[in-house]
Every structure is written in C-alpha cells, then in structure tokens.
Chain A
C-alpha cells in the first residue's frame, strides 16, 4: 500500500471513529452541542472529499447523504436534539464505512448495503421535516452518484439538495497575531507566579516563615501579577507601520485602476495599536484612501494644466498624543468645494437651515451626512459599501472622532482621532 493510501485510511478512520464516539452509547434523546454538530459535519465532509479523491464513489455518495443530515443542524444556535434512532444509524454507517474505505472493497453486495443505509438516512430526514424541526427546509432529492461530477463544472442537480447555510465562521477580530517573544515572556511570568504560589502552598514550613519573609514572597507574586497584566495588554498591540505598508500597495492599485498618478508617503511616529482597533480602522483608512484618489487627486493632464506636479501626493500621518492616536489621510488634490457641497446637500434635502447660514467648515462637514455620497461605489477592494457616514460612526463607536479640513484647489485632509 502506498503512503498516500495509508494516510487516507488512517485519517479517514480517525474521522469515522470520532463521529462514532460522539454518538455511541446514547440511550435516550440527547442534545448535540453546536461544536459537536460542526465537528461531525466537518468530519463527514472530509470523509466525502477524501473518498471521492480516492475514487470510491459509493462511500462518497453515502457520506454526502449523511452530510445532508447534519447540514440543517448547523444553523441551530443552541445545539440540536437527536434521538437514539439517529445515533444508532450513524454508528451503523460508521462501522460500514470503516470496512469499505478502499474502492476495491466495493462489490454488488456492499453497493446494496450502502443504498439501504442511504434510504435509512432519507427516512430520518423525512421524520425530522415532518416533526417541524425548525432548521430543515430542504427538498429531499435522491442522491446523485459522484460519477456524474468528475468534471469541474458544478452539478446543478445536487444544488437543490440543500439549502445554503452560513459556514461556521469567526472573523479575525476575534483573533490576534501575537509577537512570539512577548508570548514567551508572558508564559515565563505566569509560570513564575504559579510555582511561587505552589511553593507557598506545599511548603510545610510556610506558616513558620517570619511575617517579613512571607510578606516578601507575597509582594514578589503581586509584582509578577502586575507585570503579567501589563504584558498581556501589550501583547494585543500591533505596530501600525505594517498596515500602512499594505495601504501603500492598495493606494498604488487604486491609482492605477483609476488612471491617476500618486506618490504615497507615510510620516509620523511609530505607533502601536490594539489589534482590535486596527481591524476597525483598516476599513476606514481604505475608504479614505480610495476617496482621496478617486475624488481628490486630479488626472495628470488636469494637474499639469493647473500647474501642479503630475504626480499627486497621498500622505498618511500617524501621531500620538498623551491620550489619543491621530491618523490622517491627506491629498494635494482638488479640495472640497463648500458651495458645491451645499448645493448637492440642498438637492438631497439634507440641510437643516438655509444654505447661506452655513459656515464653510460646517458645509464641508456635510460630507459625513448619511446619504450624501450617493454614488454606488463598486469597490473591488473590500466589496463593502463603506461611506463617510459609516466611517464616522465606526470611529465614534470607538470613542473617537473624524475631522476634515480642506482648501479648495489645494487638497483635503481627513483626521481620525482615536483614544488610547
């Protein structure tokens, strides 16, 4: 047996056994947890894919039908009740699968056995649908043998066999990238604390320690705890510079797409942000950069006629004060025209008083009004329709604010102020 086949058998058997373990030995209806459901689904899904790659169509089809049974359970938030009948069936299927992983084990008899198992699955599915399990709404189709889908084109007859559901997903905002040296430091600190506490606990003479030396030990532990707390917070901090480098490439892409020429510069302090903040800010910065290049910076010809250098300047500046971090996106383009903004806002009925009563700075602030930028931005960047109003909301939700300054004909600067 070659290595690949061995790996297939080994891994697939493990997946089957894990499935069995989750469901065997149950004597009465029990609640499958959300995690268990997802794991079972993934296991069956992988069994299906691997079997198909090994050209064992019978196993792949059986696994696919079983997958269909788990699929509607995935959308439940609190887990799903399953009964003994279901558990027994899955165990029976698992045991059959283990014996028939290799294509050569499939003969007329085993194909019939597989077909029977598939029927049993269909039976349970029908029972679930008719007993108003909230998640099952799919039409049950007879399973299509995998032989029909050996080409990359997607087989439409299978698509009706399940309703689309969101795959279990966690966004990166729940995870952070961690500097490994900091993590090592954290672990060392935690271990020091743990062993100092253990020492005190296990030391039969601890009670005989003089009050001073006992207090010393406690103080030492307390110190370590404070350091731990500070280090843990620091672990979340990510230097902003790396993101800015990516923004540079993004800006170049956007400029090329729009036929503009830009020179990107980043200035200011080396600042670290909590990585949660960074994720929130990233979208805003992307939008501001896009705006600057799209609406701000003029086309090279226009710039030439205006006596400006053909290459527009886009600068990202990052600074920190005692209490906040200031990030600004500045361009040397057209600038915002208060008169034009007031005109547009008036047409869109966004003014709360006559246009003449607006100061220039107030007029410029109107760009943040929801509904002001009505152009539907077809963004190939993030695909998200982030408008300036959304940017403002996002930053305000972090306790910060967004400001805009502009000189007509000279340029615009948006500044994000984020509290530390």
Chain B
C-alpha cells in the first residue's frame, strides 16, 4: 500500500487526485495546500510518493521538489504541470522529478505515470 502526499493549492484538484488514488489502492497520508507545507509534511511523514503542483503560493513546485530531494535523494515526486509550462518540465527533470503529468489529465494517464515510478 503506497503512501502518497498530495501537494496542490486547489482543493478541487486535491479531492480529484485523492479519489483517483484511493480508488486504485493508494493511501493518501496527507494533503498540503502549498509547497512549504508540502515539504514540512514530507519531512514528517516520509511518504512513498508525492504529487506536486507547480504553481502554488508560499513556495512553488520546483523549489519544493528541490528541497524534498535534498531531504531524500531517493524521493519519488511527480510533477503536475499545466499546458504552457514546458520550460518548467526541464527544471523538474534536472532537479530529480520522477515523472510529470499534464493537466488536464485522464485518470489512466495519471495512474500509469504513478505506476512507472
């Protein structure tokens, strides 16, 4: 049972992702509404996987990804990017993201990205 941390500033996205994850047997251990809270939760809970939105207040997804990778070089972070953020994808990969999914995404796409980790 893989433990997942959801980091996204939209409650709607968090609930959507949560429902997809729980239907497929993942356990959502926490949600965070910005990157800074996300890094804190990661530090506390050490989840197996993190789903990370890019655009967030307080601390954005790339910065949070880098901080999580510093805490744990083996962390599995999947970035959720939106259309028009191609320049960010390269940053994410270089910084250690294990995958990315573009919003809007279909359930199968999201799940297969997770399965590839």
**Using Cβ atoms and an 8 Å threshold, which residues of chain A touch B94?**
383
| Interface of A (DSSP majority class) | helix
At the interface, yes or no: B2 with Cβ under 8 Å from chain A?
Answer: no
Q: Is B55 a contact partner of A42 (Cβ separation < 8 A)?
A: yes
**Using Cβ atoms and an 8 Å threshold, which residues of chain B touch A151?**
109
Within residues 6 to 26 of chain B, which ones have a CB less than 8 A from any CB in chain A? 9-13, 15-16, 19
At the interface, yes or no: A12 with Cβ under 8 Å from chain B?
Answer: yes
Query: Which A-chain residue is minimally distant from B112 (CB atoms)?
Result: A152
Q: Is A7 a contact partner of B83 (Cβ separation < 8 A)?
A: no
Query: Which A-chain residue is minimally distant from B10 (CB atoms)?
Result: A46
At the interface, yes or no: B82 with Cβ under 8 Å from chain A?
Answer: yes
Q: Is A149 a contact partner of B59 (Cβ separation < 8 A)?
A: no
Size of the chain B interface, CB-CB below 8 angstroms = 47
Specify which of B61, B83, B105, B109 is in contact with A158 (CB 8 Å cutoff): B83
Q: Is B57 a contact partner of A383 (Cβ separation < 8 A)?
A: no
- Contacts A172-B67, A246-B72 hold; do A177 and B83 have CB atoms under 8 A apart? no
**Using Cβ atoms and an 8 Å threshold, which residues of chain B touch A41?**
55
How far in angstroms is the closest Cβ of chain A from B21? 14
Specify which of B16, B39, B83 is in contact with A53 (CB 8 Å cutoff): B16
**Using Cβ atoms and an 8 Å threshold, which residues of chain A touch B69?**
382
**Using Cβ atoms and an 8 Å threshold, which residues of chain A touch B73?**
249-250, 253, 381
Q: Is A11 a contact partner of B12 (Cβ separation < 8 A)?
A: yes
At the interface, yes or no: A168 with Cβ under 8 Å from chain B?
Answer: yes
- Contacts A152-B105, A158-B83, A172-B39 hold; do A253 and B74 have CB atoms under 8 A apart? yes
CA distance A11 to B13 in the complex (A): 10
- Contacts A167-B54, A249-B73 hold; do A64 and B83 have CB atoms under 8 A apart? yes
Q: Is B103 a contact partner of A53 (Cβ separation < 8 A)?
A: yes
**Using Cβ atoms and an 8 Å threshold, which residues of chain B touch A381?**
73
Q: Is B59 a contact partner of A52 (Cβ separation < 8 A)?
A: no
**Using Cβ atoms and an 8 Å threshold, which residues of chain B touch A64?**
83-84
How far in angstroms is the closest Cβ of chain A from B36? 6
Mask of A209-229 contacts with B, CB within 8 angstroms, 1/0: 000000000000000000000
**Using Cβ atoms and an 8 Å threshold, which residues of chain A touch B13?**
46, 49-50, 53
How far in angstroms is the closest Cβ of chain B from A58? 14
**Using Cβ atoms and an 8 Å threshold, which residues of chain A touch B62?**
167, 169
- Contacts A11-B12, A49-B103, A154-B102 hold; do A162 and B72 have CB atoms under 8 A apart? no
How far in angstroms is the closest Cβ of chain B from A413? 24
**Using Cβ atoms and an 8 Å threshold, which residues of chain A touch B109?**
151-152
A contact set with B: CB distance below 8 Å: 3-4, 7-8, 11-12, 38-39, 41-42, 45-46, 48-50, 52-53, 55, 60, 64, 67, 146, 149-152, 154-155, 158-159, 161-162, 164, 167-172, 175, 177, 246, 249-250, 253, 282, 380-383
Across the A-B interface, the 4 shortest Cβ-Cβ residue pairs: A164-B87, A52-B104, A167-B60, A169-B63
User: Would you give 14 A-B contacts (Cβ < 8 Å), ordered by A?
Assistant: A38-B57, A41-B55, A46-B10, A46-B55, A55-B104, A146-B83, A146-B104, A154-B89, A167-B55, A167-B62, A167-B88, A171-B63, A172-B67, A253-B74
Other A-B pairs, 10, CB within 8 Å; known A158-B84, A380-B96: A7-B11, A8-B12, A11-B10, A46-B55, A49-B82, A52-B103, A158-B83, A162-B84, A170-B63, A249-B72
